[in-house]
A = this chain, B = another copy of it.
């Protein structure tokens, strides 16, 4: 049933003394070696089937509830502790430029004394580069499984910051659009952006508490000298959360400003329309006057009565035009 040729197992290696010692396709064998000589093994799975996860879980002795959460997608970010193992769920975020949308994936991690199992769901946010960066730093790798946990968290949270930076740009664009003189319908864009912010918030906020626990040293597999690193990640997370809150507040204000612009524009339009109407209605009154059938209307007999009437209309209209221009109605 288990096919090593596919991409379910992305990578699997044994680490000892801060170095990558052995890579293998047979993760059972590597796991046994990790037990024996003090190194640790890191297995990375991508979109595995439930059966595959259960198989791994059995070998590593993972808690059924954690396995259940690792199999099902759409979990909440959290950190659980089962005896000597800790189980972490992370939301991954990335920004898709084509449609200005934030997409989400999920990573589940089992971190024991001598092993790390990472289960990644969805596209994007591959862990390969995190592994490479980690392998490049012997000191970090020397922290063991706790170092892997840090490397993955750092990677994921840095991507939150990238996404948030993109959203800052989007909010700037909306701001420009709201205060431009064009008639733009910004409410839909603001709504969509608020929705994305809510998405980001759902990834960021529940992670605060786990990170706090990682920095407070009540968690196994994290060596005490590594806590500053987790504090650093917690700090980046706090920055992401604050920026998201700030953007949300700005969007609300921008929305109110948009509503105000709509109102002001309606008022401007109304006055413009009224002024335009006056330019037609007043000459119509003049025409009506000279359309009256009184027997004694001297103008009617004038040789230049007709041009006079037309001129009168034009002059009155021009006068109104000037008046409305001056008062800002046109």
Contacts and interface: CB of A to CB of B under 8 A. Distances in A.
Contact of A257 (B187, B232, B282): B187
Given A274-B273, A294-B306, A267 B264 contact: no
Interface string A271-290: 10110111011111101111
Contact of A263 (B80, B266, B287, B309): B266
Contact of A202 (B242, B256, B299, B301): B242
A253 B193 CA distance: 11
Stoichiometry, copies per complex: 5
A255 interface: yes
Interface string A168-203: 000000010001000101011011001100100110
B206 A257 contact: no
A302 to B, nearest CB: 8
A21 interface: no
Contacts of A282: 280
Contact of A290 (B185, B188, B254, B293): B293
A180 to B, nearest CB: 11
Given A202-B242, A255-B257, A290-B294, 15 more contacts: A76-B238, A76-B239, A194-B253, A255-B256, A259-B260, A265-B267, A269-B274, A270-B273, A291-B291, A291-B292, A292-B306, A294-B300, A294-B309, A296-B304, A297-B306
User: For the complex, would chain A's binding face be called helix, strand, loop or mixed by DSSP majority?
Assistant: helix
A246 interface: yes
B267 A277 contact: no
Contacts of A198: 246, 249-250
A60 interface: no
A302 B300 CA distance: 16
Contact of A261 (B187, B280, B281, B288): B187
Given A259-B259, A281-B280, A292 B269 contact: no
A327 B270 CA distance: 15
